[in-house]
A and B are shown apart, each in its own frame.
Chain A
Amino acid sequence: MKKFDTQVQYLKYKVLREVAGKAWDDTLYEKILDIPKIIIPGPTPTTRCCIYKERAIVEERIKIAMGGDKSNPNVIEVIDLACDECPVAGYEVTDVCRGCLAHRCQDACKKDAIYFDHNQKAHIDKSKCVECGKCSAVCPYGAIVNFKRPCEKSCKVKAISMGPNKAAKIDNDKCISCGSCVYQCPFGAIMDKSYIINVIDILKKSQHNQKYKTYAVVAPSISSQFVHAKLGQVISGIKELGFFTVVEAALGADMVAYKETQELIEKGFLTSSCCPAFVMYIKKNFPKLVEHISHNLSPAAEIAKYIKETDPTAKVIFIGPCTAKKAEFQQEIQKQYVDSILTFEELQALFDSKDLDIYSLPEDVLDNASYYGRIFARSGGLTDAVKQALIELGRTDFEVKPVVCNGIEECRMALLKVGKIDIGNFIEGMACVGGCIAGAGCLTHGEKNKAEVDKYGMEAYEKTIQDAIKVLKK
């Protein structure tokens, strides 16, 4: 049964599963050195030059699965050993060039970097080329290819470059921990730090929820993830792991939608605060716009705060698609509400570390939020919720002019215009293209995910935001 998009995710999962399995029965430190051999049994290497390098890389993965380098504040880390040091040639003319007469490549090049040999075949003068890609776009044979490293290509905030040892290097001053490189690196050389051991520790110390209760707060994008199991079975599975109960982060989203709308009316201009990578992007690149970031907590922290108000000894673990969330919860303000974070990848590893067959479990229920809280998981959802909140608050006199930014590049374009031209009064920013359903910690990143989230939204028992949050008012 296919659970992941790529073999890289599968390998990462196997490491997490082994580490988690041993953490459950307290044998991790005793058996940690056995894990590389379990994963790379040999004798023939499968991905690298020899099994010893493969095992050495697994060791590095184990380290990251156990929380990674504590001296590095970034939750995204490069495994130098695993980096294949892809060439960084940029645009190159390949053998596919037929030496045609048209020379569109030359016409397209503004820098006069294209020249031809005696066979009319094109070449690029690298001393002139600025890597704009115009030649590549016009070649009728697709003969000009960009040999940019996949990690660099995926990183829209330009935080990745080649380090002195040729391995990829992340600039922490630019990185927003969105995880796109983690998902895109074909060699699995970039990983997000895992807190899976921390979560197991919290669950174990609760002594079956006797000492304190452990709550799972799940992101609405979960609806598109465990495609072969019913959502209700996943909920049962989470409880089987030892969680006391499961609460929708979408209820926090309902709460945020109301508060954020009121804040928007009051301030007149706002950028959203639910995507931690977008917030980090503004802080690092547009410090002057920081004052416009909504002061609301993220939906996960908002609901975690409510849980802790009703049950002060509670521990709250957020389960979602997001690697940037792992960075968010390290901040003092979030830390008091959210105790740890799991991605969907890590949740799958946790299920399997306990040999839990979720497909055979009975279906439990998950229903706390409204349609609007649930569709926060996709681009445009927050804006829909704000529009609805204006209606419910009876403030249709206030006109929201939303700018829905799908992906960090669109966010950048919108932020550049703020204060220069009138673009609107509410910027909804999502770092991942598609929204949370395309988060780096997702098991699958399919086209159908948006439809799945909308369907899940429609199934909500509460149809309005107000109905969903009514139960919370004292």
Chain B
Amino acid sequence: MKKVVVCIGSSCHLKGSRQVVERLQELIAQHDLKEEVELQGTFCMGNCQKGVCVKVNETLFSVSPETVDSFFQKEVMGK
């Protein structure tokens, strides 16, 4: 089970966390990963300058609506 937490605090929200969440939801559904990946939101990870902050099992990544696909391939699907 992979836990993917997306920051939905103000700063990340303005950088597109909604788009990131929506795309991740789509991708999870597409790859039929609902049982393997748990998607969660949280307010602020204390790394606002690196937004949109996304944590995969406690490892922090910086994602944007443009890079969400490659991030998913590499970090969620890959490992």
**Residues of chain B within 8 A of A367, CB atoms compared:** 10, 13-14
Interface string of B8-28 (1 = CB under 8 A from A): 111101100110011001000
Q: Which of B41-49, B59-67, B68-76 contacts A (4 or more CB under 8 A)?
A: B41-49
**Residues of chain B within 8 A of A307, CB atoms compared:** 43
Contact of A474 among B13, B39, B44 (CB under 8 A): B39
Contacts known (A365-B14, A367-B13); A471 close to B8, Cβ less than 8 A: yes
- Whether A288 is near chain B, meaning CB under 8 Å from some CB there, is no
Most buried by A among B10, B21, B25: B10
**Residues of chain B within 8 A of A472, CB atoms compared:** 8, 41
Complex Cα distance, B10 from A461, in Å, reads 10
Q: Quick one: closest A residue to B41, CB to CB? A: A471
Pairwise interchain contact A471-B18, C-beta atoms closer than 8 A: yes
**Residues of chain A within 8 A of B14, CB atoms compared:** 365, 367, 461
- Whether A170 is near chain B, meaning CB under 8 Å from some CB there, is no
- Whether A91 is near chain B, meaning CB under 8 Å from some CB there, is no
Distance (whole angstroms) from the CB of B4 to the closest CB of chain A: 11
Pairwise interchain contact B10-A215, C-beta atoms closer than 8 A: no
**Residues of chain A within 8 A of B25, CB atoms compared:** 473
**Residues of chain A within 8 A of B21, CB atoms compared:** 470-471
Q: Quick one: closest B residue to A303, CB to CB? A: B43
- Whether A244 is near chain B, meaning CB under 8 Å from some CB there, is yes
Contacts known (A461-B13, A462-B18); A474 close to B40, Cβ less than 8 A: yes
Complex Cα distance, B11 from A471, in Å, reads 14
**Chain B count of residues within 8 A CB distance of the other chain:** 20
Q: Quick one: closest B residue to A468, CB to CB? A: B18
**Residues of chain B within 8 A of A235, CB atoms compared:** 10
Pairwise interchain contact A471-B17, C-beta atoms closer than 8 A: yes
- Interface Cβ pair total, 8 Å cutoff: 55
**Residues of chain A within 8 A of B41, CB atoms compared:** 310, 471-472, 474
- Whether A274 is near chain B, meaning CB under 8 Å from some CB there, is no
Q: Quick one: closest B residue to A469, CB to CB? A: B18
Pairwise interchain contact A365-B17, C-beta atoms closer than 8 A: no
Distance (whole angstroms) from the CB of B44 to the closest CB of chain A: 4
Interface string of A352-370 (1 = CB under 8 A from B): 0000000000001111100
Contacts known (A462-B18, A471-B18, A471-B21); A247 close to B42, Cβ less than 8 A: no
- Whether B54 is near chain A, meaning CB under 8 Å from some CB there, is no
Complex Cα distance, B25 from A358, in Å, reads 39
**Residues of chain B within 8 A of A26, CB atoms compared:** none
Complex Cα distance, B42 from A474, in Å, reads 11
Contacts known (A368-B8, A462-B18, A471-B8); A245 close to B44, Cβ less than 8 A: yes
Pairwise interchain contact A368-B42, C-beta atoms closer than 8 A: no
Q: Quick one: closest B residue to A215, CB to CB? A: B43
- Whether A246 is near chain B, meaning CB under 8 Å from some CB there, is yes
Distance (whole angstroms) from the CB of A369 to the closest CB of chain B: 10
Pairwise interchain contact B18-A368, C-beta atoms closer than 8 A: no
Complex Cα distance, B8 from A471, in Å, reads 7
**Residues of chain A within 8 A of B43, CB atoms compared:** 215, 245, 247, 307, 310-311, 368
Contacts known (A215-B43, A310-B41, A471-B18); A246 close to B8, Cβ less than 8 A: no
Most buried by B among A245, A247, A461: A245
**Residues of chain A within 8 A of B6, CB atoms compared:** 471
**Residues of chain B within 8 A of A461, CB atoms compared:** 13-14
Q: List 21 A-B contacts (CB under 8 A).
A: A215-B43, A244-B44, A245-B9, A247-B43, A248-B10, A310-B40, A365-B10, A365-B14, A367-B10, A367-B13, A367-B14, A368-B8, A368-B9, A368-B43, A467-B18, A471-B6, A471-B13, A471-B17, A471-B41, A472-B8, A474-B41
Q: A-side interface residues toward B, CB under 8 Å? A: 215, 235, 244-248, 307, 310-311, 364-368, 461-462, 467, 470-474
Known contacts A365-B11, A368-B8, A471-B6; 14 additional CB pairs below 8 A are A245-B9, A247-B43, A364-B11, A365-B14, A367-B13, A368-B13, A462-B18, A470-B18, A470-B21, A471-B8, A471-B13, A474-B38, A474-B40, A474-B41
Q: Return the 3 tightest CB-CB contacts between A and B, nearest first.
A: A245-B44, A471-B8, A365-B10
